[in-house]
Homo-oligomer: A and B are copies of this chain.
Amino acid sequence: MVLNTETEQRIVASAEKLFYQKGKAGTSMQDIADDAGINRTLLNYYFRSKDQLFEAVFRRAMGRFVPGLAAMLQSEMRFSEYILHLVETIIDTMIEHPQIPIFVLQELTSNPSRMPQIMREMGVDPEKGFQKFTQDAGLHGRLDMRQFILNVLSLCIFPFAARPVVTEILYNGDQEAYLLAMKQRKKLLPELIMKFLNER
């Protein structure tokens, strides 16, 4: 998507902010226009409908982290090296856009049938990645590759999806402490994940 005019950029910026925070149904066109400081009808002029504006925002959100992951699947890295980069990439992305997980997951929960098409559009073929790693990490005989990947993603993403709960319960509402802990996880998680691969 190309954003030519300044107005167009302001619309998308406000739409992103509000859709991330309050979801599609929870955000009105008026809300977005007010936040962007422009007339409401301009939203329709540029994006035709609310559906299309939401779609633009949703695709941008997906595009913020899917390509990075897909690129790695095609890279020549070795397994352990890959994990290191994967964790760092995901956490950096999450720190920058902490609200994306809930936003995307909420939309996909309401509308799960969208998943297959999205994957095709983004050119993601997980089966190829599995083969590569099952082969590369084949040394670790009893490893269930799917469960392993699921564990890695859980450890990287959940702390951001659950930010308000985590901040309040674990860090007593201290935002700084929360963010510091998230940064520490970039070093902590790879160490932990390597333990997964050890025999008992």
Contact = CB atoms under 8 A, between A and B. Distances in A.
Contact of A195 (B106, B158, B195): B195
Nearest to A164: B112
Interface residues of A, number: 56
Interface string A12-28: 00000000011111100
A116 B167 CA distance: 10
A185 interface: yes
A168 B22 CA distance: 26
Given A25-B25, A109-B102, A126-B170, A161 B164 contact: no
A197 to B, nearest CB: 10
B25 A22 contact: yes
A170 B196 contact: no
B154 A119 contact: no
Contacts of A22: 25, 110
A4 interface: no
A26 B155 contact: no
Contacts of A95: none
A100 to B, nearest CB: 11
Contacts of A198: 195, 198
A179 interface: no
Nearest to A27: B25
Contact of A159 (B104, B150, B167): B150
A157 interface: yes
Interface of A: 21-26, 99, 102, 104-106, 108-110, 112, 115-116, 119, 124, 126-127, 144, 146-147, 149-151, 153-155, 157-159, 161-173, 181, 184-185, 188, 191-192, 195-196, 198, 200
Ranked 5 nearest A-B pairs via Cβ: A25-B26, A154-B158, A112-B164, A25-B25, A158-B158
